[in-house]
Amino acid sequence: VRPGEEPEWVDSWVSKRTERPERKPGEVADPLAAQERASRRADRVSAGMAELASWLDDQVRQGLGGFDQRAYTELSRLAARMVDAQAPGVAGAVRRAAAVVGRGHGWPGELLEELSLIHLIVAAHARLPELPPALADTVQSRIGWNVETARVLADGEKVEDDWLVLGRVIEPDDRLTVRRVWLRGATTGRLGLILNFAAAGRPLEPLPARPGEYVPGVLSFYPGALPMRALLT
C-alpha cells in the first residue's frame, strides 16, 4: 500500500457500512425472529396461567384451613414457576400473597384479597383477545410484558408538573430487585408510579428525589385502562 492510500479491505469495509441501512430507534432487527420469540413466550405464559388457575381452583375446594403450614413451599414453587413461564408480574403477586401468611390474626382475609387479585389477572388473560385494547395492555402489564421505552416516550400520555414523591417500596428477591415510587402532581393531582428494576446484587439507579420532596418533570404514561405506571423525564 502506497503512503496515504488505504488498504483495499478498509475501502470494502467502509462501502459495506455505507450501504448497510441504519436501524431506527425501536426498530426490530429481525421482525420474523421477534415474532417467533413473542409466540413462544405467549405459549409459556398461557401454560403458566393454566397451572395457576388450576391451583387457585384447588384452594377454593380445600379452603384455607392449615394453609399456613404449606404456604411457603407452595407459593415459593408457584412464584418460581411464574418466573419460568416469563410472567414476572404474576410471580411478584404470588410473592406478595406469601408475605401476608401468618402476619397477624387477620392474615386469612388479606391472603384472600391477594389471591382474588391474582385470579382476576388469570381470568382476564384467558379473555385477552376479547378485551378492549387499553384493558388488554393493562392485563399484559400486570403479567409482566414489557412495553418498549421508546414507544412510551413517543406515544404515551404526557403530563408536566412538579411531582411530590409520596413514598417508595423496595422488593428484593433472589433474582430481581424491584423499586416502586409513587408520585403526585402538585398542580394536576395526577398520580404516577415509577418502577425500577435491578438484577440481584446490582444497585438500583438513584432516586430523583426523596419521599416528601418535589421533582419537576414530565411523566410519560404506559398504555392501560387507568394509566399509572410512567417514565419520568
For every one of its 233 residues, what pLDDT tens digit does the chain have, with 9 covering 90 and above?
Answer: 445 454 555 455 455 545 555 555 455 557 788 788 888 999 999 999 999 999 999 988 888 778 888 888 889 999 999 999 999 889 989 988 998 988 888 888 999 999 999 999 999 999 999 999 889 988 998 898 888 888 889 988 999 999 999 999 887 766 778 889 999 999 999 999 998 888 877 888 888 889 999 999 999 999 888 889 999 99
- Per residue in 20-49, is it b (16+ CB within 10 Å) or e — as a string? eeeeeeeeeeeeeeeeeeeeeeeeebeebb
C-alpha to C-alpha distance for 128 and 135, rounded to whole angstroms: 9
Of residues 154, 153, 159, the one with CA closest to residue 184? 159
pLDDT (0 to 100) of residue 123: 96
C-alpha to C-alpha distance for 62 and 200, rounded to whole angstroms: 36
Amino acid in the structure at residue 65: G
C-alpha to C-alpha distance for 230 and 219, rounded to whole angstroms: 6
Is 0.75 topped by the overall pTM?
no
Is 72:95 a contact under the CB 8 Å cutoff? no
pLDDT (0 to 100) of residue 214: 96
pLDDT (0 to 100) of residue 1: 47
Between the alpha carbon of residue 232 and those of residues 47, 126, 222, the distances in Å are 35, 32, 11
C-alpha to C-alpha distance for 85 and 97, rounded to whole angstroms: 18
Domain ranges of the chain: 31-143, 149-232
Is 230:219 a contact under the CB 8 Å cutoff? yes
- Per residue in 72-87, is it b (16+ CB within 10 Å) or e — as a string? eebbeebbebbbebbb
